[in-house]
Chains A and B, each alone.
Chain A
Amino acid sequence: MLHLKNKAMNNVIRKLVILPLAFSLLLSGCDDDPAREDVPELITQVKLTFTPVAGGSVVVVTATDPDGNGPQDLVADGPIELMQSTTYDLSIELFNGLLDPTDDGYNLTAEIEEEAGEHQFFFRFSADVFSTPTGTGNIKDNPSTPVSDINYLDEDINSRPLGLVTRWTTDNVEVSDKSFRIVLKHQPGIKSDTSTSLDGETDVDITFVLLVYLS
């Protein structure tokens, strides 16, 4: 009797041992060397190039976040130093500094251009720095923040502004310690004639220090 019971038990045990073994064959183990992802969305560097329309020396300022979402702060390599009463075309470039410059995905500017229909740059600057545009720009803190126009030189397929290239004329002043802020918004399906900097998700939001010298 006892023998029979044990036999039955052995059968159960055998079944229960074989099944897990069969299943472990289906299972892929933990890779010691998992695949490295490309990370095309990570922007760690923003480069502003101010080119005088009438010719002259180009002003380049780069802001770099050395560790992406890591704890280290973003650092700009200097203030934006412009000359008084000069018209500049500002072009903005975006990079993923965690990649080598030769890698695909290092320069992200073209991606923004391709998806211009759902992206827009917005700007805010100290008053009395530029003669055009006037005001303080089009970044809103809340729906009632007053805004002023920006001279966008590029547009998307719907003829709405993009902002990778914009035009700025400095006033006839000498100022220091002013601010210049750029915000890139991702507005999939919500970019419209009335959308503002309050709409969509933020891809870039950096404030630079701005100086204007006497020529």
Chain B
Amino acid sequence: MKLVYVISLLMLAAGAQGQLCSYKLSGTVTTETSELLAGATVELIPGAITATDDQGRFQFDRLCKGRYTIRVRFIGFEPYESAITIPETGTMLIVLIIQKTVLEVIEVHDHFEHVARTNNQVTLTGSVLEQTRGQSLGEALKKISGVSSIQTGPSIFKPVIHGLHSQRILILNNGIRQEGQQWGAEHAPEIDPFIASNIIVIKDASAIKYGTDALGGVVVVNPADLPEQKGVGGEINVVGQTNGRAVTMSGLVEGGSEKIKGFGWRVQGTGRKSGDSHTPAYNLSNTGFTELNFSLAAGIHKEAKGIDVFVSRFQSELGILKGSSISSTEDLRNAMNREPPQFTQPFTYTIENPRQVVAHNLLKVKGHVHSDYGDFKFQYGFQYNSRQEFDIRRTSLNNLPAIDLDLFTHTLDAEWQQHTSQKFSSNAGINGMIQVNNNVPGTQRIPFIPDFTSVSAGLFYVGKLNLQTWLVDFGARYDYRHYDVAGFDFANRSYTDSYSFGNASFSFGASRTFGSRGVFTANLASSWRPPHVSELYSFGVHQSAAAIEYGLLLDLATGEVLDINSVNFQNEKALKWVNTWRIAKSRFTTELTGYLNYIFNYIYLEPYGVTQTVRGVYPFFRYTQTDATFIGADWFGKLAVAKNFTVASKIGLLRAADQTNNDYLIYIPPNRYELSAEWIKTLREDGQTLSLEAWGTFIDQQRRAPRVVSVDEILDAYAQQEDPFENDNRNFDFTAPPPAYFLLNLQAGFSHKLNNSKLDLRLRATNLLNNAYREYTNRMRYYADEVGRNIALSLKLSF
């Protein structure tokens, strides 16, 4: 695990003799595993501040002779601090082992950590994060082994950690629990990845500090610290892509103040526009999107206290493949037999129905105080999420959304942390949340989910023990949630309901360093989540799925809403055990993670029967509970074959099963294998590099998929007055999983440093061979192939 880090600083001092202020200081920041750390903050005190580039390098020019302090910070890492004297002669190599120091500061500004040291985690940062620029958050996270995505067409990606997604993943956006309409598998996280300087994926279930829902893991999106030194800096990103003829532009300007010490600010914005994507053979009509985001941040930090304000807005309109708009099982059969999909037309940027219009607004105010009694943090967040979904409807209704939801969330967190001794520290806090979900009237449809108000409260304690080679963390938490619900049943009759859920969770983690043989981290954590109202009450035909789904609380005979006490509902709870062995040598790094996640009372849609409506015969599914297991392994290995040449490999394996019914689960990501080779050449010592990378991805067929029951089999059985699901509730799919596929990708990067700025150019070709394939975890796989070759040119200017 990444507990042991080396920050090695290669310091080169230069400068003409005799001149007083013409010295240079440059160096490289890397992890212990020789991974180059890009985006780390390097401060030279007094004087200047900069950040490392793609290659982990930094440089200070025009330095005067004298003594300085150099400080290197990076979220997720122990800060490094050392005194140096300029001019510095010769080469310096500084090796730091993080867990042997006392503090474990993750977010320097408030001295509280987002990630425990004994978490099994992977950080996406620097050049790896840069490669994903132009992609959505869910797509970018696929770079991490053990993370895949569930997809709806070419533009909607949701992260999947170890087989779990949506309500079973917690996303922390700048320290705030992201609260959108996560229940829908076609509802992508409303986060602009450009705000992140790094993204951490915690593969444990231990989100003791953040509350419920982290059954699969946690995604932590961290912006960089606000600058504290005088001066203005920023960056501009421009990405153009051939597939979809897409353009992404993002800009960031930040600065510090000389007058007000410790004051920093940042303004950031992103715009994206894409037309229809295309497969190797045809256009994917109505898959374009537009996105417009901005964020503003300001903060002032003194030695003992500080306050931060952050405001952001994410806004997008997404087209859904028009050919996936169906309204009966026969329509589904027709669509599966048809290629290209119906409604296929020439390329356009125009977005028609079906489409989604989504906006997410966030206000965050955070304050922290350091006192003799410990460090205190207070954080208030307000989120307003609005989501409209438009279906193909009759002309008179086409402009009305079929789903129109407003979600308001207030969160209030208070946290305390104290180092009681060199060996022991305590962290405790309370979290409160009030959430209101309203259906906006005017859809002319019975709402798919009801209105609700929920009030939640949580209390936690985490203790940390530091015994040199051993690190031990343990924590416990209790959460309570109350729901008031008001909705309409199938006959448009209103109902109201009210109930509460409460549960405790715990986590225990330990990490042991075995010198040069590596670090072993083990974490055992429980977590739980209250059911979402969609699982309790949803009622209706699921868009493009040709299935009717019923909530857990609906009576199947009468369709009426039942009392929760009459259905034997149990909270969904996970017990996840994750072990990571990490070896880091100078030329070779490897990381192996094995995990077992046992989920009690796992809520899923069980095929229950067949019903005939006016639109024909439908299979119907009911939310029910079972016990499920997710067992898997992630492997990452990197070998420096030569000075400029590295090869790397990633493997993600997963076996999921329904334990109670001895069955397979649907939409489980198949096994993934990736092999890459990278060559980096320094063209000029003063900052010009060229890199070439090739990588191939092999995605196996999902061989552990539920049985296939085709539409014709359902219709034939029904015609003979049989119900194929009446006595056989095993999961099924309308078609077999798509075959395995291989994709080849290439990338060339060029980086050039000017005086105070830096230019990065990147040319990237994905699916270079233009293969036609389908992805098992893409909900559009019934209808169309995946996107074909895409060539992206990206330009980044940092100043």
Contacts and interface: CB of A to CB of B under 8 A. Distances in A.
Interface of A: 2, 5-6, 8-9, 12-13, 15-16, 19-20, 23-24, 27-46, 63, 65, 67-74, 98, 111, 114-115, 118, 142, 186, 188-190, 198-206
B396 A111 contact: yes
A74 B328 CA distance: 15
B556 A71 contact: yes
Contact of B365 (A16, A71, A199): A16
Contacts of B541: 69
B613 A65 contact: yes
Contacts of B438: 28, 30-31, 34
B394 A16 contact: no
A106 to B, nearest CB: 13
A40 B334 contact: no
B369 interface: yes
A9 B557 CA distance: 59
Contacts of A142: 337
A30 B159 CA distance: 30
B423 interface: no
B327 to A, nearest CB: 4
Contact of A30 (B382, B398, B447, B486): B486
A102 to B, nearest CB: 16
Which has the most chain B C-beta neighbours within 10 Å: A31, A42, A44, A68?
A68
Contacts of B367: 12-13, 15-16
A73 to B, nearest CB: 5
Given A42-B446, A68-B491, A205-B614, 6 more contacts: A9-B369, A16-B367, A30-B486, A37-B444, A69-B548, A74-B613
Q: Which of A9, A24, A44 has its CB near the most chain B CB atoms (within 10 A)?
A: A9
The 8 closest A-B pairs by CB, nearest first: A205-B616, A30-B453, A12-B367, A35-B441, A202-B328, A70-B559, A201-B327, A70-B490
B14 interface: no
A36 B394 contact: no
A46 B614 contact: yes
Given A67-B491, A69-B490, A71-B556, A111 B614 contact: no
Nearest to A8: B305
B496 A16 contact: no
Contacts of B261: none
Given A9-B371, A9-B376, A34 B439 contact: yes
23 contacts: A12-B378, A16-B380, A20-B382, A20-B412, A27-B436, A29-B453, A30-B453, A32-B484, A41-B445, A65-B614, A67-B490, A69-B490, A69-B618, A70-B490, A71-B559, A73-B611, A74-B612, A115-B394, A188-B398, A201-B325, A204-B614, A205-B615, A206-B614
A28 B440 CA distance: 12
A12 B393 CA distance: 52
Nearest to B402: A41
Nearest to A185: B331
B16 interface: no
B446 A33 contact: no
A202 B609 contact: no
B343 interface: yes
A190 B323 CA distance: 12
Contact of B447 (A8, A37, A41, A43): A37
Contact of B408 (A27, A40, A203): A27
Nearest to B325: A201
B371 A20 contact: no
Interface string B364-376: 0101110110001
B371 A37 contact: no
A205 B328 contact: yes
Interface in B587-641: 609, 611-618, 620
B189 interface: no
A9 B414 CA distance: 12
B632 to A, nearest CB: 36
Contacts of A12: 305, 307, 367-369, 378
Nearest to B439: A34
Contact of A69 (B331, B410, B539, B609): B539
B397 interface: yes
A154 B380 CA distance: 64
B392 interface: yes
B304 A8 contact: yes
Contacts of A111: 394, 396
B427 interface: no
Interface in B428-465: 434, 436-439, 441-447, 450-453
Contact of B486 (A27, A28, A33): A33
Contacts of A36: 488, 492, 494
B395 interface: yes
Contacts of A34: 438-439, 441, 447, 450-451, 486-488, 494
B426 interface: no
B328 A37 contact: no
Contacts of A63: 614
A115 B444 contact: no
B234 interface: no
Contacts of B487: 34
A37 B492 contact: yes
Nearest to B434: A24
Given A8-B305, A190-B343, A203-B327, A16 B378 contact: yes
B397 A41 contact: yes
B17 to A, nearest CB: 48
Nearest to A189: B343
B382 A23 contact: yes
Contacts of A44: 614
Nearest to A12: B367
A156 to B, nearest CB: 13
Contact of B613 (A15, A28, A69): A69
A71 B551 CA distance: 12
A53 to B, nearest CB: 28
Given A37-B447, A70-B559, A111-B396, A28 B615 contact: no
Contact of B395 (A9, A19, A188): A188
Nearest to A202: B328
B132 interface: no
Contacts of A28: 436, 438
Contact of A5 (B371, B410, B559): B371
A57 B392 CA distance: 41
B725 to A, nearest CB: 12
B342 A41 contact: no
Contacts of B492: 36-37, 39, 98
Contacts of A186: 327, 392, 394
B326 interface: yes
B550 interface: yes
B235 interface: no
Interface in B671-709: none
A107 to B, nearest CB: 15
Contact of A37 (B363, B382, B488, B556): B488
B113 interface: no
B531 interface: no
A68 to B, nearest CB: 5
A68 B488 contact: no
Given A20-B410, A201-B326, A37 B307 contact: no
B330 interface: yes
A30 B615 contact: no
A30 B616 contact: no
